[in-house]
Amino acid sequence: MNYNPYYNPSALGLIMMEFDEPDMIYSYNTLLFFATEDGRVFTAQDSGCSCPCPFELYEASTQAEAVRQMERIESADHAASILTVWNRGYDGKRLLPDNPERELREWVKEHIR
């Protein structure tokens, strides 16, 4: 059985942190970070209309198979830089009005080894 890490991260042994572009109707733009119990952190992002299932291309039967498709995060700075680029949006305006980089840095430092 394959599991979608977005809808069922625990089935793949993953802990998830999620960032969503707000106020989207019939579409999505999502950036995810996943941590494994052995201290690795990965990221994946997906966007589209409401027709496809978000992150369906990341469905897998094992954790190793799922994270093979993701980008490995090497540090809290690396994760924050990915979030900063994603948060600029298509027109250069911030997607998220608050400052999520600090929260992400703390989360990564808690989970990465």
Identify whether the C-beta of residue 82 lies closer than 8 Å to the C-beta of residue 31.
yes
Mean pLDDT over residues 51-77, rounded?
A: 96
Which of 10, 16, 2 is CA-nearest to residue 53? 2
- pLDDT at 65 exceeding the cut of 80: yes
- pLDDT at 97 exceeding the cut of 80: no
At 90, is the pLDDT very low, low, confident or very high (cuts 50, 70, 90)?
Answer: confident
Domain ranges of the chain: 9-111
Residues 6+ apart with CB under 8 A from 64: none
Classify residue 28 by its DSSP letter.
E
| pLDDT at 111 (0 to 100) | 98
